[in-house]
Amino acid sequence: MGDMDMNYKGEFMFSKTLNPPDVQIFDPPMCCPTGLCGPALDQTLLDVNEMILGLQKEGYQVERYQMTANPQAFLSQPEVMRLVREKQMAALPIVIVGGQIVTEGIYPKLAEIQKKLNGGK
């Protein structure tokens, strides 16, 4: 029935279609989900966090994954797993925008992600 399903009483109910996130970030191992913990903050991770908040404010869905916390996210992306097998942890972070890998081994700049989101090559 698409976006409408019937519940056990035979009534119609609407269900949200799950779309993949606009941006997926496959992070290297970190002490916490954002890496913004501990006594010394990494400027790169601060910049990534600001970038994510900016993208979310623009209405984009951004997801971050760590292998230990979200192994299924890694396993469901064959290209990500291929890179991790070939380069191990040096492949991370891997950033996917619109289903395509944008960077591996480094975090992209906000402008790179926005360009991809807006249809740029």
User: Which tens digits make up the pLDDT trace of 54-101?
Assistant: 999 999 999 999 998 999 999 999 999 999 999 999 999 999 999 999
On the question of pLDDT at 41 being above 80, the answer is no
Spatial distance between the Cα atoms of 93 and 33, rounded to a whole number of angstroms: 13
Residue-level pLDDT at 19: 79
Residues 6+ apart with CB under 8 A from 26: 65, 67, 73, 74, 77, 80, 92, 93, 94, 95, 96
Q: Hey, which CATH number is domain 18-117, 3.40.30.10, 3.40.50.300, 2.60.120.260, 3.30.210.10?
A: 3.40.30.10
Q: Are 1 and 39 in contact (CB under 8 A)?
A: no
On the question of pLDDT at 16 being above 60, the answer is no
What is the pTM for the complete model shown?
A: 0.78
What is the residue extent of each domain of the chain? 18-117
On the question of pLDDT at 3 being above 50, the answer is no
